Structures are given as structure tokens and as C-alpha cells.
Amino acid sequence: MKRIVTIQDISCFGKCSLTVALPIISAMGVEAAILPTAVLSTHTGGFKNFTFHDLSEDIPKIFAHWKRESIDFDAIYTGYLGSLEQIDQMKEFIDAKPKKTLAFVDPAMADNGVLYTGFTPEFARHMATLCAKADVIVPNITEASFMLGVEYKESGYDKEYVEDILKRLAALGAKKTVLTGVSFEEDKLGVAMYDSEKDEFFYYFNERLDCKFHGTGDVFASACVGALMNEKTLQEALKIAADYTVECIRLTIPDREKYWYGVEFERAIPFLLKSLDK
């Protein structure tokens, strides 16, 4: 059985980050070890007065213990990181990994043209140094724009704009770069990928569903890395992750009061597992 370690925050209540990654990866037949970067009482997408406990001081001790116990992983998957210090900790961890271990980075820090609360342009530039060490990165267009310091376009862009961003991301050092939330047509939304080793681009689109949910990026990234651990190519993994995310949204749409809370990813797991068998 393949083993992933996923490193991001955990909200005790809410559908995002580790609360999403652990069940999705486990359901895909992959062992999911976790390293929480922080513990929150709830996610931040609709709750007020939530608690927050930073675990930065514990991370080096956990890494040291794993090293003493000769624990290794088939993939390192990082998500939401809360500080420059944590970015540096992840860089050291990736530098020390065996060559065969996949480094998969989701630079979760921004969307819709703006950084999440508490993040700065300096943080985004520093996140780029972590992406430089990855085998696969999956930013959205906002995150890529902040890391590269290029103009963000919400719409009206073309393939030249997308492919320029993908190549710039690869120039940082990442072997395979992915952009999520790509759209050239009003009713289509999807992903674009650049394989720097083969100098090839790949696109995949789904129906655009006119709604936004908290945590869908975590659903996508978790399903993608889980598919890669099931011996899927990156192109196949992106298709599986995109289709699964859309199915999660489709199942949640009837309950409009939950838009802020997250998607009902649990109900779509049978769909995900069938996709793995194709």
C-alpha cells in the first residue's frame, strides 16, 4: 500500500484541508499520514471567533522522530501553510526526502484575485521557493499570479496567457505545473498542465457550475495525489480529480444553505472509486 503524508491545517469542524484530505486519500486505498500545521475549532469560511493554535514548534520534532524511526513516504503533499517559517520547514523536509518520493504542492493562499486573510505578497514570493522544489504544483491562477508577480486576469485571457504562466512556474523549478480554474468559454471550467520534461501542454474541461464552495481546491488536490498513488498518469489524475470535484459540487447544489460550509464530498466517493477503475 502506498503511503502519503499530507501537511496542512486541520479544522475540527468544517470541510477543508486535512478534514477533506484524510478521508479522500484513505478511500482511494492509500495510507494517509498527517501532519497538522495548525488546529482550528472550525474553518474560516463562515464561522466567527474560531480558535487557532499554531503547531510550527512541533513540526521539526515530528520530522526528527520520523527520521529516527526510518519512516518514509511515497508522496509528500503540502497544502495550506500559515507562515514563512512553515514554508522553510517544508523545503527542508522535501530536500531530505528520497529521490523516489513525489513532492506535490498545493500553494493554498489566494483566490479570485486576492490573497487570503493574513497573507502578504512576501508570503506568496516565498511560497514560490517551495514550489520550486516540487514535482507537481497545482495553484489556481490567482496564486500563480502572486508567486510570479504577473498580471492577474479573471477572464478574457487566451492560451498564450495560460501557457506563459505555466512555463514561468516551471522555470521556478517544478517539473509539472498545473493551473486550476482555467476557462476560455463561459460555460466551461477546467485545468491546464505543462510537463517541462516533455515540453507538452494538456487541457481538460468540465461543465462550469455557477456557484462557489469552500474547500473545493482541497478536494481536487487530494483526489489528484490519491490518483497518482494509484499509478495514474498526471493527465489521468487531473481528469479524475476534476470530475470528482464537479460531482461533489453537483450533489451539494440542492442544499444552497451549505455553500459557505463545503461540498458533500462523502456522497461522491463511490463516483471517485469508479473513476479509478476506468
Across 194-220, b (16+ Cβ under 10 Å) vs e yields bbbeeeeebbbbbeeeeeebbbbbbbb
Number of neighbouring beta carbons within 10 Å of residue 10: 21
Tell me the C-alpha distance between 181 and 200, whole Å. 19
Q: Distance between CA atoms of 106 and 9, rounded to whole angstroms?
A: 13
- Which string of DSSP letters, residue by residue, matches the chain? --EEEEEEEEESSSSSHHHHHHHHHHHTT-EEEEEEEEEESS-TTT-SS--EEE-TTTHHHHHHHHHHTT---SEEEE----SHHHHHHHHHHHHTS-TTSEEEE---SEETTEEPTT--HHHHHHHHHHHTT-SEE--BHHHHHHHHT----SSS--HHHHHHHHHHHHHHT-SEEEEEEE-SSTTEEEEEEEETTTTEEEEEEEEPPS---TTHHHHHHHHHHHHHTTT--HHHHHHHHHHHHHHHHHHHTT-GGGTTT---GGGGHHHHHHHHH-
pLDDT reported for residue 278: 83
226: Cα within 13 Å, side-chain hemisphere:
29
CA separation for the pair 27, 240 (Å, rounded): 14
Please give the average pLDDT of every successive group of 10 residues along the chain, which has 278 residues: 97 93 98 96 85 95 97 97 96 96 97 91 97 98 97 94 98 97 94 97 93 90 98 98 96 76 94 95
Q: Tell me, what's the pLDDT at 265?
A: 96
CA 170 – CA 148 distance, rounded (Å) = 11
